[in-house]
Every structure is written in structure tokens, then in C-alpha cells.
Amino acid sequence: MKKLLEIKSKIEKISKTINTVEEAWDYLLETGIIKDEQTLQVVTNINGYSLETLEDVLYATEGYRSFDQLFDEDDDEEDEDILNIEDVQNEDGLGFLDK
């Protein structure tokens, strides 16, 4: 079970990669980090339409220097959640996650 969760996490991490400005733009809007597309339009008109500019927006709003840092943090939180779930289930004697 644990191996399956590790594989799933790796696959999700691969899919959580921002490679283009368009992907970053869409991610900021779809996740609600930026509520209004006009905000991104104004910022990119002033600072340039680039991945660096959108990572600056991410830093200003969320405190992450890059999308990779954001996704690494998400992965760490998911790993902690998985470990906490395993501990609770094992303490309750359910046993299906015994190692």
C-alpha cells in the first residue's frame, strides 16, 4: 500500500509542473490564487509577459519563490497527511496498513 502511494505521489508531481507562461497563467486563475484575470494583465503589461513575472505574482500572493517550491511544499504536506492517516489507522487496530 505504501509503495502504491509513493508511485501515485511521483506521478502527481510530474503532472504538477509549470513549463510555460500559459500554464502558469492558467494555474494562478484556476486555483484562485489570483481572482481576476485583469490583475495578471496589468502586472504582465508592466513587468513583461514571462514566467518570471508570474512567479513574482506567486511570491507576492503566496510567499513561494517558484511553482516548483509550491508543489514541493504541497507534496510534503501530502506525505505528512499520509503518515498521520497510517498512524491513526494502526492505533485504532484496523491493521490493513500494517507494515
User: Mind listing the pLDDT tens digit for each residue in 15-29?
Assistant: 578 999 999 999 999
Task: Tell me if 93 sits within 8 A of 87, measured CB to CB.
Answer: no
Task: Tell me if 54 sits within 8 A of 39, measured CB to CB.
Answer: no
User: Mind listing the pLDDT tens digit for each residue in 58-78?
Assistant: 999 999 999 999 988 876 665
* Rounded Cα–Cα distance for residues 74 and 72 (Å): 5
Q: Which long-range contacts (CB under 8 A, 24 or more apart) does 81-89 make?
A: 82/5, 86/2
Domain ranges of the chain: 18-91
% of the chain at pLDDT higher than 90 = 52
